[in-house]
Amino acid sequence: RSFGERVAMNSPIQGTAADIIKIAMIRVWRALRDAGLKSRLILQVHDELVIETYREEEEQVRQILTENMVSAADLAVTLEVDLHTGENWYEAK
């Protein structure tokens, strides 16, 4: 019984988080395209977006990611965004 209650309570939270990351993905993809950048959104894992970025575009991509992820949902609290870079996904962690 308590497992079912926890699942029922957690589902709206996880569903909302999934909706927020999908909104952010669409906004980031559009912003990269509209800016004419070569960098591409290649992967989404839970609450992370992985972008293959060209070095000369890094600062612009950072700005696009931050702006579009923070504004993906109108919440009473500010969403926090952490950005990491590396030659591969392991280094970026």
**Residue pLDDT, tens place only, 62-73:** 999 999 988 888
Q: What is the pTM of this model?
A: 0.79
pLDDT tens figures, 15-39: 678 888 899 999 999 999 999 999 9
Closest alpha carbon to 69 in 21, 30, 29, 6: 21
Closest alpha carbon to 89 in 25, 26, 44, 37: 44
Q: Where are the beta strands (DSSP E) in 13-61?
A: 40-45, 48-52
Structural domains present in the chain: 2-92 (3.30.70.370)
